[in-house]
Amino acid sequence: MFQTSYIELSESAVKNNIEFIHNFLGKGVTFSSVVKGNAYGHGIENYCPIAYKYGIRHFSVFSAGEALKVTNALDNQKFTLMIMGQIDNEELSWAIETGVEFYVFEQDRLNAAISIAKRLGKKARIHVELETGMNRTGFPKKDLATTLKKIESETAYLDVKGVCSHFAGAENIANYKRIKDQFKLFKQYKSKLNTAPWLQAKKHLASSAATIRYPKSQMDLVRIGILQFGFFPTQETFVHYTTKYNSSKNPLQPILSWKTKVMDTKTVKAGEFVGYGTSYFTNNVTKIALVPVGYSHGYSRSLSNQGKVLINGARFDVIGTVNMSMLAVDVTLSESTIKKGDEVVLIGTQGDQELSVSSFSDFSQLINYELLTRLPQDISRTIT
């Protein structure tokens, strides 16, 4: 194995989630599967082929490096790939040559794309990102007219595939006004652009939260990340969904489980400290199990004396500080004999017990997104 822990991905959960999202989307809306951050920790190589199997033909990533990984993972398949963030001017020739689409949100990239496209004799497939109020990337209003003129004059070398923007936090009702204003502005742009010949382009701005919370914002394409992995972006989005659609059941299923094995067990006398320093003191004789996972493996140190794990179908507390490569668990109250080699579940189910990713966020201040993407790339991922 040569790994101290392992990740399992449930194929039936992928199928369930993709079907749910497809059914939820308006007619003709393209589902782009966002797989940045190593497919939210699920593994680009592992996740993309299953998503493809269940009908995904459009993938979005942040960077050219991630795009290359998706290309390798889906060797010889037909699909569309879109880079929403960083691509160096040097990487542009690869993207243009291979037909990978990319966002354009500033002049330098636009100029580079045009000149490389001319050199290669191949059109660059671009998505024009507009600033609507997030104040991140996107052409500001004042540059729009000149940018559009430039694009129009170079359509021999530019294939405009999309016009897009991004909401500044549709998963949180506190941002309601800002989101509504962004949506309004984007719609204004849309009707203005109606006259341009490149309006054939897809209009897109919704991610998971907006897709659920503001279905009208789905437009031609949605960029779905977290939902496909079995999580609502926030508890609030989930409550909105269950209320609006009168559903008491969570339609999504988590895909990922994270497991390891007990490395050693030990009985500690009463009146001793366990691990580094003095953060855990045994009031009674305590049986501990050592687990070979620590913060270097993505198990946050803020879960010291807070985390929970499952062993033999029961829930136990992490005690003391989470170390770089291991942690200790108090198994004194176990009804079974816990021994070296027993399965330890860090995320997932065992028997009738479950440790959800969101239960971590309650303890560690990590949102689902961050916890998942911290899972190291080199942990083995298998499909179950």
Ligand X SMILES: *Cc1c(COP(=O)(O)O)cnc(C)c1O
Residues that bind ligand X (CB under 6 A): 34, 36, 84, 166, 207-209, 223-226, 233
Q: In the Cβ-directed half-sphere of 69, how many Cα atoms lie within 13 Å?
A: 20
DSSP per-residue codes, 135-159: -SSSB-HHHHHHHHHHHHHTTTTEE
The torsion angles phi and psi of 102, rounded to 5 degrees, stand at: -150, 155
Residue 383 β-bridge partners: 9
Give least dist CB 225 to ligand X, A: 2
- Local structure of 112: helix, strand or coil: helix
Give least dist CB 149 to ligand X, A: 26
Q: List, in sequence order, the alpha helices (H) in 6-62.
A: 11-24, 36-40, 44-53
CA distance 222 to 226: 12
Give least dist CB 206 to ligand X, A: 8
Closer Cβ to ligand X, 34 or 160, answer by number: 34
Closer Cβ to ligand X, 211 or 321, answer by number: 211
Closer Cβ to ligand X, 6 or 214, answer by number: 214
Q: What is the number of other CB atoms lying within 10 angstroms of the CB of residue 380?
A: 13
Closer Cβ to ligand X, 46 or 207, answer by number: 207
As a dihedral over the C-alpha atoms of residue 93, residue 97, residue 101, residue 104, rounded to 10 degrees, the angle is 30
Tokens of 108: 């330098």
CA distance 308 to 275: 17
Q: Give the CA angle between residues 36, 303, 352 to the nearest 5°.
A: 85
Closer Cβ to ligand X, 66 or 330, answer by number: 66
Helix then strand then coil, in percent of the chain rounded to 5, is 40, 25, 40
Give least dist CB 155 to ligand X, A: 25
Closer Cβ to ligand X, 126 or 226, answer by number: 226
Closer Cβ to ligand X, 21 or 288, answer by number: 21
Give least dist CB 18 to ligand X, A: 14
Give least dist CB 337 to ligand X, A: 42
> CB nearest ligand X: which residue?
225
Give least dist CB 335 to ligand X, A: 40
Tokens of 125: 């497939």
